[in-house]
């Protein structure tokens, strides 16, 4: 404000600050979750980073309630409708994993345990405690080293589970199947893609043998996402002639199209079936608690699932998965 030479006062209007429109802010909150829902439902994740991000879908489903509330309170009808669709789609993708129930089926009992041993460092004594407590018929191990084989045998596994098909290595690539029952190695089931993934016929008493595959594809990090997809596609489809079980560290969650594609070929996720599908398995024994579920027991649709639990094992970043099944 200043005085004019001819009298009077010149008033200079202040600059008005432009406010970001509330509608734009609402859409800014809604759009990422809507896009996430589209990618998840349609299975559109491509490349390493989107594939890794997709494991956070359960948290995105919960977080999608925030933009829905923002849109509803702001009375933005179009944004509210889109946010509601996104929340619904994400909710239907995630919530069924917590709503399953045990299947009352008859058949031969089969207990399965799987554990990633983190370069063979997993505590052998704890694993043996679980073996003695749970009494699995089959133990599927990943990142099994020659040293871990020795540690487990010295801890008593050799007496309890004397039959085995081992492809142990001094790296993350080793794997091994242990069994209480006689086994027949199958060397032509999985192509050489990913880590070692041994397979075997388990002579389960009371009927035909059961085929078992120890799963451990590469993680979908960087260029390894290509081999990850190849491994997921290489797992054999369910067969009417043979009951097959695939258990291990898939480096995949049920929010990955690649794993859902495998399930669509005649399998079901044991934990998902009994409402334990949201229990995280990785990373364990860290300052950050386990946040994603990448260790699974996949079973033929004809296999009954009675119970699935997850247990901590010191010195490894994966939790053990224990599944109680019934086989026709």
Q: What is the pLDDT of residues 148-192, one digit of tens each?
A: 999 999 999 999 999 999 999 999 999 999 999 999 999 999 999
Q: What is the pLDDT of residue 22?
A: 83
Closest by CA position to 165, among listed 135, 190, 129: 190
Return the DSSP state at 95.
G
Distances (CA, A) of 150 to 146, 155, 170: 6, 9, 13
Compute how many other C-beta atoms are within 10 angstroms of the C-beta atom of residue 263: 16
Task: With a cut of 90, say whether residue 15 has pLDDT above it.
Answer: no
88 strand-pairing partners: none
Question: Token pair for residue 48?
Answer: 């390493």
> pLDDT at residue 299 above 80?
yes
Average of per-residue pLDDT across 301-311:
97
Asked if residue 303 has pLDDT above 60, the reply is: yes
Q: How confident is the model at residue 5 (pLDDT cuts 50, 70, 90)?
A: low
pLDDT of residue 121: 98
What's the confidence (pLDDT) of residue 2? 55
Report domain extents, the chain.
22-98, 108-327
Instruction: Write down the pLDDT at residue 105.
Output: 75
- Please tell me the distance from the alpha carbon of residue 212 to that of residue 209, in angstroms, as a whole number: 10
CA distances from 59 to 15, 38, 105, 159 (A): 43, 16, 33, 43
Query: What would the two tokens of residue 61 be?
Result: 């489903």
The rounded distance, in Å, linking the Cα atoms of 114 and 64 is: 33
Beta-carbon count within 10 A of 314 CB: 12
Buried b (16+ CB within 10 A) or exposed e, 94-120: beebeebeebeeeebebbbbbbbbbbb
Pairing of strands 108-116, 138-142: parallel
Encode pLDDT of 197-256 as tens digits.
999 999 999 999 999 999 999 999 999 999 999 999 999 999 999 999 999 999 999 999
pLDDT of residue 247: 98
Comparing C-alpha atoms, which of 180, 136, 161, 179 is closest to residue 308?
Answer: 136
Options 3.40.50.620, 3.60.10.10, 3.90.79.10, 3.30.450.70; CATH of 108-327:
3.60.10.10
- The residue length of the chain stands at 328
Split at pLDDT 50, 70, 90, the class of 68 is very high
């Amino acid at each position: 404000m200043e005085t004019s030479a001819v009298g009077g006062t010149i008033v200079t209007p202040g600059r008005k600050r432009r406010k970001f429109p509330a509608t734009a802010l609402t859409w800014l909150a809604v759009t990422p979750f809507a896009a996430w829902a589209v990618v998840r439902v349609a299975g559109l994740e491509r490349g390493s980073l989107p594939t890794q991000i997709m494991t956070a879908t359960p948290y995105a489903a919960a977080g999608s309630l925030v933009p829905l509330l923002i849109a509803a309170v702001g009375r933005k009808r179009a944004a509210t409708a889109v946010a509601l669709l996104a929340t619904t789609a994400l909710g239907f993708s995630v919530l069924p994993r917590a709503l399953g129930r045990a299947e009352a089926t008859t058949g031969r009992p089969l207990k399965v345990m799987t554990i990633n041993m983190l370069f063979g460092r997993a505590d052998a004594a704890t694993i043996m405690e679980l073996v003695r407590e749970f009494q699995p018929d089959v133990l599927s191990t990943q990142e099994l080293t020659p040293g871990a084989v020795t540690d487990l045998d010295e801890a008593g596994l050799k007496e309890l589970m004397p039959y085995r098909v081992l492809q142990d290595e001094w790296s993350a690539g080793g794997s091994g199947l242990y069994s209480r029952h006689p086994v027949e190695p199958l060397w032509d089931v999985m192509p050489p893609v990913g880590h070692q993934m041994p397979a075997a016929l388990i002579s389960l008493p009371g009927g035909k043998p059961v085929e078992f595959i120890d799963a451990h594809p590469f993680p979908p990090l960087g260029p390894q996402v290509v081999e990850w997809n190849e491994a997921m596609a290489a797992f054999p489809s369910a067969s009417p002639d043979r009951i097959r079980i695939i258990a291990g560290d898939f480096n995949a969650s049920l929010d990955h199209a690649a794993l859902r594609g495998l399930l669509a070929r005649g399998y079901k996720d044991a934990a998902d079936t009994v409402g334990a599908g949201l229990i995280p398995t990785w990373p364990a024994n860290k300052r950050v608690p386990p946040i994603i579920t990448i260790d699974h027991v996949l079973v033929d649709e004809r296999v009954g699932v009675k119970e699935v639990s997850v247990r901590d094992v010191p010195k490894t970043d994966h939790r053990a998965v224990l599944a109680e099944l019934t086989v026709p």
